[in-house]
Amino acid sequence: MGKRIRITHVPTGEVIAEGPTGWGITPFEGNYYIGKEHLRTGGFRSTRIPGLCFYKLLYVWLDFEAPDGTRTPRLGWRYVAPNPLFPFIWFRVAVPGSHPALRVERLDEG
pLDDT of residue 75: 98
Percent of the chain with pLDDT over 70: 96
42-72 residue pLDDT tens: 999 999 999 999 999 999 999 999 999 999 9
Task: Find out whether 92 and 35 touch, Cβ atoms under 8 Å.
Answer: yes
Q: 108: pLDDT confidence band, cut at 50, 70 and 90?
A: confident
Burial 13-39 (b: 16+ CB within 10 A, else e): ebebbbbbeeebbbeeeebbbbbeebb
pTM of the complete model: 0.93
Q: What is the mean pLDDT of the chain?
A: 94
Whether the pLDDT of residue 1 is over 80: the answer is no
